[in-house]
Structure 1
Amino acid sequence: MAQINITKESPSFWRASLDNPPINLFGGQLVVEMRALLDAAENDPELTVIVFESANPDYFIAHWDLADDLSVLANQPPPVTGQQPFVDVMVRLSKLPVVTISKIRGRARGAGSEFLLATDIRFASRERTLIGQFEMSTGVPPGGGAPSRLPRLVGRGRALEILVSAEDFDGDLAERYGYVNRTIPDAELDDFVTAFATRVAAFDRGALAEMKGWVNAITLPDDNEFPPQSATFTARLGSARSQRWAAGAFAAGLQQSGDLEERLGTRSVEF
């Protein structure tokens, strides 16, 4: 794989490191590689836990790649769930019969935040985490599942605050809201997550899958909630407001290492 480095710590514990320089954008290639990872995970009878982390300490997943023409998906099989390709991956990830953990260090906005929401457990660096849904500042509502997943995770009021403010949430506030399970001092994060995942990896896959299935039945959105969100997201990307925002943001350094991406939750309202 070009953008996911998989390390098998043991037959039951995989580590998946996301690596798409310079800022870990999520685009068509990562969709392809996530599909391959999910296929492998679904069919491995020994696997019980996957830890997702980033090779870039400043960006977990910056956001969706707005310059990607998705041509890499042209020869791919149809999405398994019938959803659009990104949502298909998120739905499959949330229902995977293994425990998925996001180890968050750096920024995760837009599609990056939606990826976190689709994983089961989120542990974050206290000092180095910034997450949020910045889309509303661009004239486009989130289209990858956040309006369905966030209210079930943090409650209605806080979900609306996160979505309509389009601001960044640091580690401590994200923990207080329930956006992440807990924050850990950055120097302790790696050891903590490894110890947690190693403990889970010792448990029976079948029992874990059954338990996760029961929780899913109560907490996961119905798949029918996603298509209207995806369709609206796509339609509004072509609006004059969104196109004006994109032109200004790309001219100012969008999708490049630098101040705009570092402070996107603050600066996204400039354009």
Structure 2
Amino acid sequence: MHTYNQFTINRKTPAFWRITFHNPPINLLDPDTIFELLTLMDQIETDPDLKVVVFDSADPEYFIAHYDMARAGEKQPTPKEIEFPAWIDFVSRLYRTSVITIAEIRGRARGVGSEFVLACDMRFASKEKAIFGQPEVGIGVVPGGGANEALARLVGRARALEIVLNADDFDAETAERYGWINRAVPDAELNVFVENFARRISSFDKLALHDAKKLLNRTGVPEAEEILESRTVFITGAMSANTQKKVSTAFARGLGKPGDFELHLGQHVGNLE
């Protein structure tokens, strides 16, 4: 049995798990998170009874805030040897696992947090409390973990350009209208809605679920090579003097810490000069 520091697995039934992310103080995703996610994928892919996983957060303000920039550049450990960079390996497997994956989103899902939920099969969000954003361009880089590829497929080219180039926050109702998420659900109803939905799916035949997902994936899910191209451009941008200056300014103003800067990140990245 694996032990996790940042995730809690609640096996509601043999066929349905809830996996809750908790990395205080603001649920930043870091190299330890990615290591645990890869380990979780090993469990998800090999469990013979599992049909549905719901991912949620223990922090109502942050689903996944974004990547922990204070740990950028650290060597990424992995549980086993893999072909692609660790994050790309994880999201590629998430897209293609036979298990149905659902994100139940309260709070902020920005940057890699948005890219995480985009790689889930379905996304249901709190109408009042969920916020989405791809702030990367605001600090001089591009999304490098799947957003370019997934958003263009989900919301169309023009709206994907709006989301990525504007680098601002989007509320759940707008995200629903654009197709970024499946539904914006009143916060008081979200847990019950997702719980009932997941339990219903988990009562169905596993092979039928697998076959349906595999066939629907033909309409287009990102290939690892596509995301790798975005990652390469992201790394190049991150090394530029302009980006380094903006990141330093962001840290000085509160990046990665509880407070107004993180709560209203979309607003603040527009004023980093």
Structure 1 residue aligned with 2:125: 124
Hey, what's the Cα distance between the residues in 2 that align with 1:185 and 1:8? Answer: 25
Residue aligning to 2:183: 182
CA distance in 2, matches of 1:132, 1:254: 15
Aligned partners of 1:86 and 1:270: how far apart in 2?
A: 29
Q: Judge conservation of contact 2:35–2:77 (CA < 8 Å) in 1.
A: no
Instruction: Determine if contact 1:29/1:72 at 8 Å carries over to the other structure.
Output: no
Q: Which amino acid aligns with 1:54?
A: S
* Equivalent-residue separation in structure 1 for 2:74 and 2:166 (angstroms): 33
Q: Structure 1's 72 and 2: CA in aligned 2 closer, same or farther, altered over 3 A?
A: farther
> What is the CA–CA distance in structure 1 between the aligned matches of 2:74 and 2:254, rounded to whole Å?
24
Q: Match for 2:54: what amino acid?
A: V
Q: Where in structure 2 are the equivalents of 1:1-271 lying within 5 Å?
A: 1-69=4-72, 71=74, 73-74=76-77, 76-79=79-82, 82-271=83-272
Q: Percent identity?
A: 45
What one-letter code is carried by the residue in structure 2 that aligns with 1:193? V
More displaced 10-residue stretch of structure 1: 204-213 or 3-12: 204-213
Give the AA of the match of 1:164: L
> Aligned residue pairs: how many?
269
- 1:223-268 Cα distance to aligned partner (Å, 9 max, x none): 2212111111112111111100110010111000100000001111
TM-score, structure 1 as length reference: 0.96
State whether residues 104 and 123 of structure 2, in contact with CA within 8 Å, keep that contact through their aligned partners in structure 1.
yes
Query: In structure 2, what residue type is equivalent to 1:35?
Result: L
- Measure, in 1, the Cα distance between the counterparts of 2:147 and 2:226: 11
CA displacement at 1:76 relative to structure 2: 4.0
The gaps in structure 2 that reach 5 residues or longer are none
Whether contact under 8 Å (1:60, 1:107) holds in the other structure is yes
8 Å contact kept, 2:38–2:79: no
Contact 2:35 2:78 in 1 (8 A): no
SS at match of 2:26: coil
Q: Write out per-residue CA displacement over residues 189-225 of structure 1, whole angstroms, 9 at most, x where no aligned residue.
A: 0111000001011111111111101111222123221
> RMSD across aligned C-alpha pairs, in angstroms?
1.2
Distance 2:109 2:84 in 1: 23
Aligned-partner SS, 2:70: coil
Contact 1:45/1:205 (CA < 8 Å) preserved in 2?
no
What is the SS of the residue equivalent to 2:131? strand
Residues 93, 70 of structure 1: alpha-carbon distance in 2 compared, 3 angstrom cutoff? farther
| Cα 1:52–1:75 shift into 2, 3 Å | closer
* 1:117 Cα deviation after fit: 0.5
